[in-house]
Chains A and B, each alone.
Chain A
Amino acid sequence: GAVVSQHPSWVICKSGTSVKIECRSLDFQATTMFWYRQFPKQSLMLMATSNEGSKATYEQGVEKDKFLINHASLTLSTLTVTSAHPEDSSFYICSATRQGLYNSPLHFGNGTRLTVT
Chain B
Amino acid sequence: GENVEQHPSTLSVQEGDSAVIKCTYSDSASNYFPWYKQELGKRPQLIIDIRSNVGEKKDQRIAVTLNKTAKHFSLHITETQPEDSAVYFCAANTSGGSYIPTFGRGTSLIVHP
A residues apposed to B, CB below 8 Å:
34, 41-44, 46, 49, 93, 97, 102-106, 108-111
Contacts and interface: CB of A to CB of B under 8 A. Distances in A.
B94 to A, nearest CB: 9
A58 to B, nearest CB: 12
Contacts of B100: 34, 46, 49
What does DSSP make chain A's interface, helix, strand, loop or mixed?
Answer: loop
Contacts of A34: 100
B103 A44 contact: yes
Contacts of A44: 44, 89, 103
B51 interface: yes
Contacts, number: 46
B30 to A, nearest CB: 9
Between A49, A106, A111, the greatest number of chain B beta carbons within 10 A of the residue's beta carbon is seen for: A106
Q: Which 5 A-B pairs have the closest CB atoms?
A: A103-B32, A108-B43, A105-B46, A43-B105, A102-B99
A103 B41 CA distance: 26
B105 A42 contact: yes
A97 B87 CA distance: 22
A111 B100 CA distance: 19
19 contacts: A34-B100, A43-B106, A44-B103, A93-B43, A103-B31, A103-B51, A103-B93, A103-B99, A105-B34, A105-B46, A106-B34, A106-B36, A106-B44, A108-B36, A108-B43, A108-B45, A110-B42, A110-B43, A111-B41
